Structure 1
């Protein structure tokens, strides 16, 4: 294929880097040898299922390097300080040093955990993100956010640590179960709600093609959704302003995930329910119509994403939102849709308004 013909979008920020789209795993080594200096040792961090599917393909292009592969168990619970400590011990046994390059091969959990490891190991070593899930390809691998969880909340311990590159091979999506596809669709639909009405209509019009995994439609979906993330991150790398809009649905969703201890609800499901709660809150504040809320609910529903959750205590969920990273001076800062294709940062949401939004999505 060759470096000159690889499709890419550049993240133009303080630490710029390319997001490559539709590039084979086997060709990452060619990029490293031509663009990244002083690499002798590579540490691939992944989980067992992804390793079995894709590690050999990735290593085909890395024959010129000393390569170690470390696997961690799957699941959001693995984003912990305990797992980070175990990963550090294993890395030291592999001879990882300041010149080592880390490759995060996997979905959002691996990207967050391996990225946070790279950001703190010996005060920071180089990182390449190789996302293998739809969620990671359209969202979590782009933007340099890395983190682990804390009992008080999701992603409480983290940093901004941009990779040297994001390497996206669309063929890794072929193995995804639909439950994993849903996680990515929630983030992609979120991107459409934030900044791209045409993309929202694309999801409405391409239901069958997306469900049937039409390759050209999936490629367009990933590319257009990634472009929203890249544009936003390029304007505000460290979330001092407009980047916060990418958190639409996440204040509600993260509270739900934490309250349920990451069992019984996936990240995408939490975001989907969170988007609906934010939409109800936006409607109550006059930012959108109930017809638009219904349109959002319908789109999420046709892709199998939930719009309600059973058996939760709205007061407990409200309490969980106190640890949201966007909060300032005790005030809850929320991202709300303003119609479809536009969002705003709201700093004046009262607890009673947020509680009413939670009640709308608890069945």
Structure 2
């Protein structure tokens, strides 16, 4: 256990992100946490449980393990699902010493983490991300949430996990549309903080699409390093952490408008990155050639760079619910070249409408 690769996240409760570990070894790590009880509650989805549940259970054989399966879909991040989780947890005898294991992608990580943050005023949990999106982004940073009809992730908390346990081998079974979600966030990380990573993605497009193991390991590790560095400097999004929302203000509005149906988070973020890049170009923050590099990289991975038959005015209205907004002003993250980004607090509605119109067909 001493030789495990890990990156420490500085937080109100610091925690490690373990990289390249095995699902089967999680139990051995947890045995070192002397204050844990004997019960573990695994919150997952049926497909994930079928693919990876047996391996996880092998390592947890010395614990009492209960499993709650949640249906798939972003719509499950709801107060109704939170209520049903609570009822089931009470039935299973979950108490303050129980550890929650979030086995799945971003939806499970957000939902299980938020459940852990509020059940009996907070019980511990471990993130075990099984998608590329979750491994490079959503499992790291301690943000947990559920959605509300008025907007995505409006009800949430900053609640650090006990640890993040990242097994790269689980990515082999991912369908390509799930891979795309993680690639969108990886491109975002490169744009805001690592120009060399952006060039790496450009240079290794084919190996990434062919899932070359060594290339994927380097891509994930470098993307995780960007996320960890930023959240360690700004746990509660009071400053630099806001940069991680590049593309999200636009993307979340599109996801909300479509009621989280027919569009993935990654596709929404990719479209949002293009819209933000267009606004940044209009402000002189980024060149036309750099915008074209961004668009071409996203396209090479099959990510969304335009949307059809949408109302720019309606999408602008939905952006009013964005959590970054301050005093009625829309706050946006814009790329500044490739490898940097800035927080912009004076974007007017005409600029944002123009950005939307550039990506609506």
User: Aligning the two structures, in what range does the TM-score lie when normalised by the shorter sequence?
Assistant: over 0.9
126, 129, 148: which one pairs with 2:124?
126
Superposed displacement of residue 253, structure 1? 0.2
CA 1:60/1:317 → structure 2, altered by over 3 Å: closer, same or farther?
A: same
Question: Could you give the per-residue CA deviations for residues 87-122 of structure 1, whole angstroms, max 9, x where no partner exists?
Answer: 111111111011100000000000000000000000
After superposition, the C-alpha distances for 1:107-151 in whole angstroms (9 at most, x for unaligned) are: 000000000000000000001000000000000000000000000
Q: Among residues 235, 238, 247, which one is paired with 2:236 in the alignment?
A: 238
TM-score where L is the length of structure 1: 0.99
Counterparts of 2:265 and 2:223 in 1: how far apart (Å)?
A: 18
Match of 1:333 among 322, 331, 334: 331
Measure how far apart 1:35 and its partner are: 3.0
Match of 1:151 in 2: 149
Instruction: Provide the rounded CA distance (Å) in 2 between the counterparts of 1:14 and 1:114.
Output: 20
Out of 277, 291, 294, which is 1:293 matched to? Answer: 291
Match of 1:178 in 2: 176
Q: 1:355 aligns with which of 353, 356, 359?
A: 353
1:13-62 CA distances to partner (integer Å, 9 max, x unpaired)?
22110000000000000000013523211000000000001111101111
The secondary structure found in structure 1 opposite 2:32 is helix
Q: 2:36·2:99 contact (CA, 8 Å) conserved in 1?
A: no
TM-score (norm 2): 0.99
Aligned match of 1:229: 227
Q: Aligned Cα RMSD in Å? A: 0.6
Trace 1:1-80 onto structure 2 (pairs within 5 A): 3-80=1-78
Partner of 1:199: 197
Query: Where does residue 320 of structure 2 map in the other structure?
Result: 322
Structure 2 residue runs of 5 or longer lacking an equivalent are none
Alignment size in residue pairs = 361
Shift of the 61–251 alpha-carbon distance from structure 1 to 2, 3 Å rule, reads same
TM-fit CA distance, 1:63: 1.1
Q: Distance in 2 between matches of 1:36 and 1:260?
A: 46
The correspondence for 1:169, drawn from 159, 167, 170, is: 167
Which string of whole-angstrom CA distances, capped at 9 and with x for unpartnered residues, describes residues 205-264 of structure 1?
A: 001110110001100010000000000000000000000000000000000000000111
1:39 & 1:6 partners in 2: Cα distance?
24
Q: What is the CA–CA distance in structure 1 between the aligned matches of 2:36 and 2:293, rounded to whole Å?
A: 52
2: distance between equivalents of 1:256 and 1:112?
Answer: 20
Partner Cα separation in structure 1 for residue 258 and residue 299 of structure 2:
22
Contact 2:11–2:160 under 8 Å retained in 1: no
Deviations 1:307-358 (A, max 9, x none): 0011110000000000000000000000000000000000010000000000
Are residues 187 and 36 of structure 1, via their aligned partners in 2, closer, same or farther at CA, if it must alter by over 3 Å? farther
Aligned-pair distance for 1:291?
1.3
Q: Distance in 1 between matches of 2:58 and 2:110?
A: 25
Aligned to 1:103: 101
Between the aligned partners of 1:170 and 1:341, the Cα distance in structure 2 is 26
Match of 1:217 among 212, 215, 219: 215
Determine helix, strand or coil for the equivalent of 2:286.
Answer: coil
Question: How far apart are 1:170 and its partner, in Å?
Answer: 0.3
| Distance in 2 of aligned mates of 1:242 and 1:197 | 17
Listed as ranges, the gaps of 5+ residues in structure 1 are none
User: What residue in structure 1 maps to residue 304 of structure 2?
Assistant: 306
